A and B are shown apart, each in its own frame.
Chain A
Amino acid sequence: MTATIEQKPEAPSITSNVRGYAERVRGGDMGALPAVLGLIVLCTVFAIMRPSFFTAGNFANLFTQGAAVTVIAMGLVFVLLLGEIDLSAGFASGVCAAVLAILLAEQGQPWYVAALAAIAVGTVIGVVLGTLVAKLGIPSFVVTLAAFLGFQGLVLVLVEGGTNISVRDETILAISNNNLSPVLSWGMLAIGVGGYAAIQLLRARKRSRRNLASDPISLIAVRVGALAALGGLAVYVLNLERSRNAALVSLKGVPVVVPIIIVLLVVWTFVLRRTAFGRHLYAVGGNAEAARRAGINVDRMKISAFVICSSMAAVGGIIAASRASSVDPNTGGSNVLLYAVGAAVIGGTSLFGGKGRVLDAVLGGAVVAVIENGMGLMGYGSDVKFIVTGSVLLLAASVDALSRKRAAATGLR
C-alpha cells in the first residue's frame, strides 16, 4: 500500500486546499483554469489592441451578446454530463423563438403565455430526442444531427419562408435591452454576496459541529471577498453612464439578462450538486452500468437530460429573440450551436461525460462572447471569426482529451 495511513483527516487549511488544487491540476483535472486564463489573456490582448474594448458600454454589450449562447450551453452541460451530445440545441432554440414570436405577433397572446409555450415546445422536443436516444438506442449524435436539419426546416415553415417576425412585446424586449436601476444593481449584488456568505458559513458551522472536515473560515473569507470584489467592480462599471448623449436617454445599470443568468446558474447548480437527481446524472455519466446496478433508471436520466437541454435552449431562444427584436430563419442557426458546445467545453465540461458544472457554461460563454466581441471591434469579418472560434473549440476539446489522458496516467481515472 502506498497510501498514507492516517487516523483522522488533516484539518483543512488554506495551504492544504491550495496544495490539493495544485495536485489536481497537475493530475489533469484542470477545471475552470483554462477558461479563466483564456479570459485574462483575451481581455488583455483586446484591451491593448482596441482600447474601446474596455469601456463600460462594451462591457455591458458582452453580457447581452453572450447571454443566449450561455443559456443554451448551460442546458448542453446536462447532456454532455451523460457523454451524449445535442447538435440540435441551436435550431431548437430557433423553433421555440419562432413559436414565441408567432404567439406574440400573430395571436396577440400576452408575453407569459408565449414564453411558457416556447419553453413547453422545448420540453416536448427534449422528450422526443431523449426517448429516441434512450429507448431506441440511436446514438445521440445521429438523432440530434437529424433534428438539426429538421428544425432548420421547421423554423423556415414557422416564419413562412424568408420573412422575419418582429417582436414588439415590451417585457420580452426588456430581457436583452433594459437595465436594472443602479440602486437595484447594488441591491442584487448585496443579496448575492450575502446569500453566498451565509450558505458557506452555515455549512461550515454545521459540519464542524458534527466533527466533519469543514472549510476554514479564512478560505470562506477569501472566496466571499473575491466574489464581492469582482461583483462590485462589475456593478460599478455597469452603473456608469453608457449613453453617448446622457441628456437625451440615460443608459446605466446591470443588464436584465445578468440576474436571469445568475438565477439559472444557482438553480441548476443546486440541482446538480445537492439533489439525488444531480448525483445520479453524474453517476450515469461516470459509469452507466454501475448506476443501473445501483437501481438508477438510466433511460429516465437520459430523457430528463435532453428535456433540460432543450428547455434551456428555448430560454436561450427567447433571449435571442429579445436581443434581435425579431425572429428570422437564422435565429439559433449558423454558429449558435457551435458557440454553445464550445462554451461548455471551454469552461471545462468533458465531452466524455461525467465531468462538468453549470458554471463552466457561464465561464466558457464569457470566453466565446469576448472572442466574438473583440474580433468584431478589430474589424474582422465572419470569415476570421469562424476560423478563430473553430480553433478555440478544437483547442478546448484537445485540453479535455489531453487532461483525460494525463488523469489516466496519474491514476486519477
Chain B
Amino acid sequence: MTPVLELRGIDKSFGPVQVLHDVALTVRAGEVTALVGDNGAGKSTLVKCVGGIHPIDSGEYLFEGKPVHVHSPREAAALGIEIVYQDLALCDNLDIVQNMFLGRENKRGLVLDEDTMEEMAARTLASLSVKTVKSIRQHVSSLSGGQRQTVAIAKAVLWNSKVVILDEPTAALGVAQTAQVLELVRRLADQGLAVVLISHNMNDVFAVSDRIAALYLGRMAAQVKTSDVTHSQVVELITSGRSGDLGLTNGVPA
C-alpha cells in the first residue's frame, strides 16, 4: 500500500543554519507514527514544512504517491493534512461548534447555518466517542485541558482529513486526561487516518505508536517499528543518533 505521505531527501535551511539534512519520513494510513527527537532536533521545522508554513529547500514531497508542492497551510488543508499545534489555537470566548468551524463556517446566503454545523460537529465528536462534554454549545473557556485537546483534534478531523499531525498533545495534561487523549489518538488511526504524534514522553510513544521516527540534529536517525525496539534503544537514538545497528554512522544514515 502506498504511504499517504512520503518525504525524501528534505533539506531546509534558515539563512546559514541548516536545520534539516536529507530527511526521509513515511507516514501510513491506519498507523500512528511517533516523531521523536531532542529539543532542536528539527521536529517542529519538519512538521511546519509538511504543513506548508515553511517551504522546503529541496527534496521530494509525495502525497498518496504523487509529488505535490505545498506552499501554504491552506494548500496543506486542501490535501487533507491538518496540524494540531501545542497551543491549540482555540478561541475561549466561542463555543465548541463555533471553534470547530472557525474560518470555514457553513452558510446559507449571508446567514450562518448553525443547525447544520451543530449536527456535523456532534456527529464528528460522536464518531470519536467523545462523551465528556456536557453540551457542544458550551464555551471552550469552561473545558478542561483534555477536553480542549479533544476539541482541537475533532476540529482537525472534521474536514475528512487524511493526515493529522499532533504536536505534543499530552504535554500539559494530567494522568487521566493523557490516557483519554492517547485513546483518542489510537482511535483516529484505527479509523484509517494517518496520525503523526510528536512527543517527548516515551510512555506515550510506546503506548500508542506503530512506528517511531527519531530525528537527531536535523537528520532522520531511524524509522522503525515500535514492536522492534526497546525503550532504551529509542532513548539512545534520540540522544546520540545511534543504537547498535540502528541509526547514523558518522552522521550519515546506515
Looking at the complex, which of A49-57, A112-120, A291-299 is the stretch in contact with chain B?
Answer: A291-299
Interface string of B87-102 (1 = CB under 8 A from A): 1111111100010001
Tell me which of B59-67, B132-140, B205-213, B223-231 binds A. B132-140
Using A275-B111, A282-B94, A293-B73 as known contacts, say yes or no to A287 and B134 having CB atoms under 8 A apart: no
Q: Is the CB of B110 within 8 A of A275?
A: yes
B146 within 8 Å of A by Cβ? yes
> Are B139 and A412 neighbours in the complex by a CB distance under 8 Å?
yes
Nearest Cβ distance between residue A274 and chain B, in whole angstroms? 5
B196-251 CB contacts (< 8 Å) to partner A: none
Determine whether the beta carbon of A279 is less than 8 Å from that of B98: yes
Contacts A5-B131, A5-B132, A276-B112 known; A283 to B137 CB distance under 8 Å?
A: no
* The 10 A-B residue pairs with the shortest CB-CB distance in the complex, in nearest-first order: A294-B103, A286-B93, A286-B91, A290-B89, A354-B93, A295-B103, A294-B102, A287-B91, A413-B141, A276-B105
Q: B147: which A residues are within 8 A, CB to CB?
A: 3
Instruction: Point out the residue from B92, B112, B134, B176 that lies within 8 Å of A4, measured CB to CB.
Output: B134
CB distance from A197 to the nearest CB of B (A): 19
Find chain B residues with CB under 8 A from A213 CB: 135, 137
Q: Is A355 within 8 A of B93, CB to CB?
A: yes
Are A286 and B131 interface neighbours, CB within 8 A?
no
Question: A289 to chain B: which residues have CB within 8 Å?
Answer: 87, 89
B125 → A minimal CB distance (Å): 12
Does any Cβ of B come within 8 Å of A245's Cβ?
no
Partner of A290, one of B91, B110, B115: B91
A9-B134, A286-B94 known; A276+B107 contact, CB < 8 A: yes
Q: How many whole Å from B217's CB to the nearest CB in chain A?
A: 29
Q: Which of A204-212, A331-339, A383-391 contacts B (4 or more CB under 8 A)?
A: A204-212
Give chain A interface residues in 1-22, CB to chain B under 8 Å.
Answer: 1-7, 9
Determine whether A285 belongs to the interface, using a CB cutoff of 8 Å to chain B. Answer: yes
Out of A6, A274, A279, A294, name the residue touching B131 (CB < 8 Å): A6
The one of A7, A9, A295 that contacts B135, using a Cβ cutoff of 8 Å: A9
Contact A413 B144 (CB under 8 A): no
14 pairs, CB–CB < 8 Å, chain A vs chain B: A3-B134, A4-B134, A5-B131, A274-B110, A282-B91, A283-B98, A283-B102, A290-B89, A291-B91, A291-B103, A294-B89, A295-B74, A354-B93, A413-B92
Q: Are A290 and B90 in contact (CB under 8 A)?
A: yes
With an 8 A cutoff between CB atoms, is A407 at the interface?
yes
Q: Given A1-B180, A212-B119, A290-B91, are A274 and B132 also a contact pair (CB < 8 Å)?
A: no
Mask of A397-411 contacts with B, CB within 8 angstroms, 1/0: 000000000010001
**Knowing A354-B92, A355-B93, A413-B141 touch, does A210 contact B119 (C-beta < 8 A)?**
yes
Q: Which residue of A lies closest to B177 (CB)?
A: A1
The yes or no answer to B118 lying at the interface (CB within 8 A) is yes
CA distance A2 to B110 in the complex (A): 39
Find chain A residues with CB under 8 A from B176 CB. 1
Query: How many residues does chain B have at the interface if contact means C-beta atoms less than 8 Å apart?
Result: 39
* Contact residues, A267-309 vs B (CB, 8 A): 274-276, 279-280, 282-283, 285-287, 289-291, 293-296
- A2 CB contacts on chain B under 8 angstroms: 144
- Interface pair B93/A411, CB less than 8 Å apart: no
State A217–B146 Cα separation when bound (angstroms). Answer: 36
A279 partner residues in chain B, CB cutoff 8 A? 94, 98, 102, 105, 112
Q: Could you tell me the distance between the alpha carbons of A283 and B180 in the complex, rounded to whole angstroms? A: 28
Q: Hey, what's the 0/1 contact readout for B75-92 against A, CB within 8 Å counting as 1?
A: 000000000010111111
Bound state CA distance, A282 and B98, in angstroms? 10
Contact partners of B177 in chain A: CB under 8 A? 1
Q: Among the listed B92, B112, B115, which residue makes an inter-chain contact with A207, where contact means beta carbons less than 8 Å apart? A: B115
Would you call B142 an interface residue if the criterion is a C-beta within 8 Å of the partner chain's C-beta atoms?
Answer: yes
Distance of B235 from chain A, by nearest CB (Å): 31
Bound CA span A84–B233, Å: 53
CB interface residues, A 248-279, toward B, < 8 Å: 274-276, 279
Q: Which residues of A contact B180 (CB under 8 A)?
A: 1
Find chain A residues with CB under 8 A from B92 CB. Answer: 286-287, 354, 413
Q: B90 to A412, Cβ gap below 8 A?
A: no
Chain B nearest Cβ from A143, distance in angstroms:
25
Partner of B115, one of A6, A210, A413: A210
Closest to A283 in B: B91
Question: How far, in whole Å, are A9 and B136 apart by their CA atoms in the complex?
Answer: 9
* Closest beta carbon of chain A to B121's beta carbon, Å: 11
A208-232: CB near B (< 8 Å → 1, else 0) gives: 0010110000000000000000000
Q: A1, B93: Cβ atoms under 8 Å?
A: no
- Shortest A21–chain B CB gap in Å is 14
- Residues in B with CB closer than 8 Å to A354 are 91-93
How far is the CB of B48 from the nearest CB of chain A, in Å?
12
Query: Which residues between 324 and 378 of chain A lie within 8 Å of chain B, taking CB atoms?
Result: 354-355
Q: Considering the chains assembled together, what is the distance between the CA atoms of A353 and B147 in angstroms? A: 24
CB-CB nearest in chain A for B85: A293
Can you list, as one digit per residue, whether each of B50-68 has a CB less than 8 Å from chain A (1) or not (0)?
A: 0000000000000000000
**Additional A-B contacts beyond A9-B135, A286-B93, A286-B94 (5; CB < 8 A):** A1-B146, A3-B132, A210-B115, A287-B93, A290-B102
Chain B min CB distance to A10 (Å): 9
Residue numbers in A under 8 Å from B91 (CB-CB): 282-283, 286-287, 290-291, 354
CB distance from B158 to the nearest CB of A (A): 12
Q: How far is the CA of A360 from the CA of B250 in the complex (A)?
A: 68
The minimal Cβ–Cβ distance linking A407 to chain B, given in whole angstroms, is: 7
Residues of B contacting A296 with CB < 8 Å?
102-103
The interface residues of chain B lying within 8 Å CB-to-CB of A283 are 91, 94, 98, 102-103
* B144-A3 in contact (CB<8A): yes
Q: How far is the CA of A212 from the CA of B116 in the complex (A)?
A: 10
**Among B102, B132, B142, residue most surrounded by chain A Cβ atoms (within 10 Å):** B102
In angstroms, how far is the closest chain A Cβ from the Cβ of B191? 20
In the complex, chain B residues whose CB is within 8 Å of the CB of A6: 131, 134
